[in-house]
């Protein structure tokens, strides 16, 4: 009504043509009962019966399903709607819900006859439009000496209740003391309830006369301790509990349904089809419309201007089809001040908008922060003082990296970009900006960063902090200036890399991995050990990096695939078979890094012949054919140190064992490399025997610390032999 009125005011001379268009529609709507076919009752007793439901066959929709509702009067009382014997209390078109009263199943001891009486309860909604809602219902059992179970579709579920001496049921708590509840599975159309006869109340009937089982709408149930020792439960609900149902028009999907225009049910204008997750479809009015989408012209425009609580408008409200507009009152200041008033108004609106957007942004940031486990991190940090880990704001990092300037990029990986940055004016950092990771991973992010932040090892790149308030988290690491080991070996032609430097890098990397495996709690498996993940500082000291990705990664198939792509040539063959990342996977990859150091060759050479593609295969072939010499890097190969190199090669070979169990642990490897370094650091050629002996004593000591019972290294003998042959 108001719509027409405002139109009169606003449209002036157009007023005459409007009633001509609008009146017939209005008149037609008037003699059609709302939401029902013409001539069909829209109510049964107190309950609305909207189409497609109907009383009698000609009023109900005919699809594969039966939408017929029985409207019965029992015992002269007022009419009530029923479906297959159950009383219907709600049928709703707008949300596709329905509600019915279902019998409570009872199991009561009758002292006069000395028998136990059962009233079963079941429901069967097969071949009907209704499903039992899994979200809105649960199964409850009340009793003290009972085993109640329920067949739901083809599955059984149930619980046993036995009251102990000191049992005390608590109001509102249904978890084993006199009451138990079970979730309802989804996709349910059938249930039947049973009580096991070996449990009954014959011994306790004076205090516990009955056991009950019911399917009940979750919001309608609140356990009361008196339910256990009385019939109050049954009486309160008058023997029936409300059951929440979902309904659909037919089992077809929207696309299928739309193909047959004669049977497609969403016939009202301004209506749409919605597919249900369980299958099938139902209809809805478009936004801004309400009414019944299943009848012609059933969806009517909502006059938002009549309801200024749901649709607030502090001005002139004007209804439109499917919406409304809200314009300001023609206030006096605007009339007088003219354009100035308008400008002030625009500014006010604009600043209000900016403030709102800012708030929204703030809100979003906080949400990301929470998603990434920021709160968890804060909590943890409060309890563990002394973590030198900082949470950076997005602004700080933008400033540090000159707004993520291209020129600041240090490297790009499959998972993100690393920028060089300066924080607090002079501290160099590397900011890693990850590509989007999925929601599940985000939640675990904070916790895993906490683990990383606690790692403090001189050969592991230090995580200084992170930024959690952006959609994708950013990590801030200490800046390591001299590129990666990969770059040193493969990207830097002609430059001498001494054997000592190589040994140092190998040893330090091994120490770092050993620390991750044995000292971190819980142990951390790097998962992506390769020369390009070993950074080098100004002294060419190794800093293992990029272990964040491996911890984030679950061991599922998707990760399996990406890893194969990402680190071809380093991958543990056992991991490829089992998909299970272990410490020994890192050992295998480390073995490949050792090979790179020994041979200066890349782990995979795509241009080589089939047999030579993989460095590890080439290496193992060479080792087995006693041709190690051929594959070693010319730079370090030397008549006097072949035995020594053989020793390193032997270690690499052990790392590359097919079975993880046969590979040494990272701790053992680090110990061995340490020994080898110590041997190197002594001036061999000039050494005389007594000094050598004292040196050996030292090795034995080092090794006894390192050797865990499983493996047996005979390093000293080999070193001496290498030494002797070298002489
Ligand atoms: C029928 O109505 C009478 C009187 O109103 C009542 O006493 C009786 O219990 C009712 N019977 C049923 C089955 O509801
Ligand atoms: C509920 O139980 C009564 C008997 O107590 C029975 O007559 C009625 O059919 C049952 N209702 C349903 C829906 O099973
Ligand atoms: C109650 O259960 C016991 C077994 O637990 C059985 O021996 C007895 O007959 C049952 N009594 C009744 C009335 O069902
Ligand atoms: C249960 O619900 C989930 C998600 O809503 C769905 O993927 C699954 O198919 C449903 N199961 C049945 C039996 O309907
Ligand atoms: C429990 O039921 C008794 C009896 O019906 C009632 O007096 C009491 O208020 C109920 N308590 C709660 C917490 O609902
Ligand atoms: C039933 O149990 C409730 C709560 O445990 C208690 O308050 C009440 O006195 C009991 N009633 C009888 C009759 O035992
Ligand atoms: C379309 O639906 C009508 C009514 O259900 C049915 O009679 C007809 O066979 C259907 N047409 C097709 C092509 O499926
Ligand atoms: C709508 O708002 C006006 C003032 O803006 C108020 O007087 C009136 O009571 C409101 N109407 C409703 C239905 O809330
Ligand atoms: C990207 O991250 C996933 C796990 O988050 C990891 O498995 C994969 O190896 C990474 N890819 C690259 C190229 O680093
Ligand atoms: C480290 O890199 C700097 C330049 O960034 C270079 O001057 C220096 O020689 C490098 N140090 C080593 C040991 O390679
Ligand atoms: C490099 O080595 C020198 C001498 O041992 C030392 O003073 C310096 O701190 C080292 N630099 C780094 C970055 O470790
Ligand atoms: C062999 O290596 C030693 C030290 O590693 C070096 O002094 C010697 O010159 C090398 N000999 C050759 C032939 O490269």
Contact (Cβ atoms closer than 8 angstroms) between residue 707 and residue 713: yes
Instruction: Return the closest-CA partner of residue 216 out of 179, 248, 247.
Output: 179
Instruction: Return the closest-CA partner of residue 210 out of 199, 224, 223.
Output: 199
Lowest mean pLDDT among 150-164, 175-189, 307-321, 340-354: 340-354
Distance of CA 419 from the midpoint of ligand 8 (Å): 57
Distance of CA 257 from the midpoint of ligand 7 (Å): 10
Can you tell me the mean pLDDT for 486-497?
82
Cβ 478 under 6 angstroms from ligand 11:
no
What residue ranges do the domains of the chain occupy? 2-25+303-327, 43-95+249-301, 99-247, 372-479, 484-721
User: Of the residues 489, 538, 539, 541, which should be mutated to test ligand 10's pocket, given the most ligand atoms within 8 Å of the CB?
Assistant: 538
Contact (Cβ atoms closer than 8 angstroms) between residue 213 and residue 105: yes
Alpha carbon nearest to ligand 9 atom 1, residue:
415
Residue ranges lining ligand 3, Cβ < 6 Å: 115-116, 198, 200, 202
Atom of ligand 9 nearest to the CA of 567: 9
> Which run of H or of E encompasses 655?
helix 642-655
Strands (E) in 386-496, as ranges, are: 390-391, 409-413, 416-423, 427-434, 463-467, 474-478
> Which superfamily is assigned to 484-721 in CATH?
Transferase(Phosphotransferase) domain 1 (1.10.510.10)
Mean pLDDT, the chain, rounded, equals 75
Lowest mean pLDDT among 522-531, 640-649, 652-661, 672-681: 522-531
Specify the pLDDT at position 417: 80
How far, in Å, CA of 165 to CA of 495, rounded? 84
pLDDT at 543 over 90: yes
Atom of ligand 8 nearest to the CA of 309: 14
Residue with tokens 């072949």: 642
Residues listed for the chain? 727
Please give the structure tokens belonging to residue 112: 């006069």
Instruction: Return the closest-CA partner of residue 569 out of 534, 644, 494, 619.
Output: 619
> Which run of H or of E encompasses 152?
strand 145-152
Q: Quick one: angle between helices 666-681 and 642-655, nearest 10?
A: 170
Atom of ligand 5 nearest to the CA of 232: 5
Express as a percent the part of the chain with pLDDT over 90.
28
How far, in Å, CA of 202 to CA of 117, rounded? 11
**Residue 566's pLDDT band (cuts 50, 70, 90):** very low
Instruction: Return the closest-CA partner of residue 601 out of 630, 573, 574.
Output: 630
Can you tell me the mean pLDDT for 96-108?
95
Atom of ligand 3 nearest to the CA of 198: 5
Strand pairing report for 416-423 and 427-434: antiparallel
Strands (E) in 444-515, as ranges, are: 463-467, 474-478
Strand pairing report for 416-423 and 463-467: unpaired
Contact (Cβ atoms closer than 8 angstroms) between residue 705 and residue 553: no
Distance of CA 80 from the midpoint of ligand 2 (Å): 15
Specify the pLDDT at position 688: 40
Alpha carbon nearest to ligand 8 atom 9, residue:
308
Distance of CA 185 from the midpoint of ligand 8 (Å): 46
**Residue 363's pLDDT band (cuts 50, 70, 90):** low
pLDDT in tens, 383-432: 444 445 677 788 888 888 888 888 888 877 656 688 899 887 788 898 88
For residue 3, what are the CA distances in angstroms to 11, 175, 289, 525? 12, 55, 14, 68
How far, in Å, CA of 601 to CA of 592, rounded? 10
CB atoms inside a 10 Å sphere around CB 256: 13
Alpha carbon nearest to ligand 3 atom 1, residue:
200
Atom of ligand 11 nearest to the CA of 539: 1
Specify the pLDDT at position 190: 87
Residue ranges lining ligand 9, Cβ < 6 Å: 413-415, 528, 549, 552-553, 559, 562-563, 566
pLDDT at 243 over 50: yes
Specify the pLDDT at position 444: 52
Cβ 537 under 6 angstroms from ligand 11:
yes
Q: Compare 379 and 175 and report the one with higher pLDDT.
A: 175
**Residue 370's pLDDT band (cuts 50, 70, 90):** low
**In the CATH scheme, what architecture does the domain 372-479 have?**
2-Layer Sandwich (3.30)
pLDDT at 255 over 50: yes
3-state secondary structure 8-40: HHHHHHHHHHHHHHHHHHHHHHHCCCCCCCCCC
Please give the structure tokens belonging to residue 290: 């309400």
Cβ 327 under 6 angstroms from ligand 12:
no
Cβ within 8 Å of residue 410, ≥6 positions away: 418, 419, 420, 430
Cβ 40 under 6 angstroms from ligand 10:
no
Specify the pLDDT at position 716: 29
User: Of the residues 538, 540, 542, which should be mutated to test ligand 11's pocket, given the most ligand atoms within 8 Å of the CB?
Assistant: 538
Please give the structure tokens belonging to residue 192: 């039947």
Sequence-ordered alpha helix ranges (H) in 473-498: 485-490
Alpha carbon nearest to ligand 4 atom 9, residue:
278
CB atoms inside a 10 Å sphere around CB 157: 15
Ligand minimally distant from the alpha carbon of residue 482? 10
672 is in an annotated binding site: no
How far, in Å, CA of 587 to CA of 505, rounded? 15
Contact (Cβ atoms closer than 8 angstroms) between residue 587 and residue 664: yes
Partner residues linked to 420 by β-bridges? 430
pLDDT in tens, 585-635: 899 999 999 999 999 988 888 777 777 788 888 999 999 998 898 899 988
* Catalytic, out of 528, 546, 572, 586: 528
Distance of CA 486 from the midpoint of ligand 10 (Å): 15
Partner residues linked to 685 by β-bridges? none
Instruction: Return the closest-CA partner of residue 296 out of 92, 32, 23, 30.
Output: 32
Q: Quick one: angle between helices 689-706 and 715-726, nearest 10?
A: 150
Phi and psi (nearest 5°) for 533?
-105, 10
For this structure, is 303 an active site residue? no
DSSP string, 691-705: HHHHHHHHHHHHHHH
Q: Quick one: angle between helices 439-454 and 339-371, nearest 10?
A: 70
Specify the pLDDT at position 446: 55
Pick from 320-329, 637-646, 703-712 the range whose average pLDDT is largest: 637-646
Specify the pLDDT at position 449: 65
Can you tell me the mean pLDDT for 543-563?
49
- On whether the pTM is more than 0.85, the answer is no
Specify the pLDDT at position 221: 94
Distance of CA 308 from the midpoint of ligand 8 (Å): 6
């Amino acid at each position: 009504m108001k719509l027409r009125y405002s139109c009169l005011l606003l449209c002036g001379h157009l007023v005459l043509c409007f009633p001509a268009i609008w009146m017939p529609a209005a008149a037609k709507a008037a003699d059609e009962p709302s939401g029902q076919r013409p001539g069909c009752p829209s109510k049964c007793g107190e309950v609305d019966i909207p189409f497609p439901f109907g009383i009698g066959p000609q009023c109900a929709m005919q699809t594969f399903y039966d939408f017929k509702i029985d409207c019965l009067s029992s015992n002269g009382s007022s009419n009530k709607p029923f479906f297959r014997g159950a009383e219907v209390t709600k049928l709703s078109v707008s949300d596709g819900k329905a509600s019915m009263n279902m019998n409570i199943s009872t199991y009561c001891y009758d002292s006069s006859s000395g028998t136990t009486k059962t009233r079963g309860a079941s429901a069967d909604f097969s071949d009907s439009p209704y499903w039992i809602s899994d979200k809105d219902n649960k199964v409850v059992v009340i009793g003290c000496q009972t085993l109640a179970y329920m067949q739901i579709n083809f599955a059984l579920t149930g619980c046993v209740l036995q009251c102990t001496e000191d049992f005390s049921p608590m109001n509102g708590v249904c978890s084993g003391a006199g009451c138990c509840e079970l979730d309802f599975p989804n996709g349910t159309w059938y249930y039947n309830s049973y009580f096991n006869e070996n449990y009954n109340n014959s011994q306790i009937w004076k205090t516990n006369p009955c056991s009950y089982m019911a399917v009940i709408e979750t919001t309608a149930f609140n356990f009361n301790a008196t339910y256990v020792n009385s019939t109050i439960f049954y009486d309160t609900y008058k023997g029936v509990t409300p059951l929440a149902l979902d309904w659909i028009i037919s089992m077809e999907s929207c696309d299928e349904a739309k193909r047959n225009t004669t049977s497609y049910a969403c016939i009202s204008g301004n209506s749409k089809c919605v597919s249900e997750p369980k299958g099938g479809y139902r209809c809805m009015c478009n936004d801004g419309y309400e009414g019944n989408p299943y009848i012609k012209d059933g969806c009517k425009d909502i006059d938002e201007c009549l309801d200024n609580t749901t649709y607030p408008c502090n001005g002139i409200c004007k209804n439109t089809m499917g919406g409304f507009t809200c314009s300001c009152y023609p206030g006096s200041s605007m009339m007088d001040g003219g354009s100035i008033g308008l400008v002030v108004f625009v500014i006010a609106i604009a600043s209000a908008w900016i403030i709102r957007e800012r708030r929204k942004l703030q809100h979003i940031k906080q949400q990301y922060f929470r998603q990434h486990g920021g709160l968890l991190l804060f909590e943890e940090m409060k309890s563990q003082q002394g973590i030198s880990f900082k949470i950076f704001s997005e602004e700080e990092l933008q400033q540090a990296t000159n707004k993520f300037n291209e020129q600041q990029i240090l490297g790009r990986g499959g998972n993100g970009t690393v920028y060089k940055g300066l924080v607090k004016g002079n501290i160099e950092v590397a900011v890693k900006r990850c590509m989007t990771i999925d929601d599940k991973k985000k939640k675990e992010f904070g916790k895993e960063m906490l683990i990383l932040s606690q790692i403090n090892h001189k050969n592991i790149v230090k995580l200084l902090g992170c930024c959690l308030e952006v959609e994708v988290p950013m990590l801030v690491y200490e800046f390591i200036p001299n590129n990666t080991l990969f770059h040193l070996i493969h990207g830097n032609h002609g430059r001498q890399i001494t054997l000592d430097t190589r040994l140092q890098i190998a040893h330090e990397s091994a120490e770092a991995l050993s620390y991750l495996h044995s000292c971190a709690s819980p142990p951390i498996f790097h998962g992506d050990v390769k020369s390009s993940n070993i950074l080098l500082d100004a002294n060419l000291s190794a800093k293992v990096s990029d272990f964040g990705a491996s911890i984030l990664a679950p061991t599922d198939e998707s990760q399996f695939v990406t890893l194969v792509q990402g680190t071809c040539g380093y991958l543990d063959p056992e991991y490829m078979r089992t998909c299970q990342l272990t410490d020994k996977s890192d050992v295998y990859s480390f073995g490949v890094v050792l090979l790179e150091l020994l041979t200066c060759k890349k782990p995979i050479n795509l241009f080589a012949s089939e047999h030579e593609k993989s460095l590890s295969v080439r290496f193992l072939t060479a080792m087995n054919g006693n041709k190690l010499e051929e594959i070693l890097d010319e730079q370090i190969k030397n008549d006097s140190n072949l035995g020594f190199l053989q020793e390193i090669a032997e270690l690499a070979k052990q790392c590359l064992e097919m079975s993880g169990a046969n590979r040494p642990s990272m701790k053992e490897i680090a110990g061995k490399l340490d020994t080898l370094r110590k041997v190197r650091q002594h001036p061999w050629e000039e050494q005389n025997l007594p000094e050598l002996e004292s040196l050996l004593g030292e090795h034995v000591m080092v090794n006894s610390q390192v050797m865990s019972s499983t493996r047996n290294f005979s390093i000293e003998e080999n070193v001496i032999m290498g030494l002797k042959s070298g002489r």
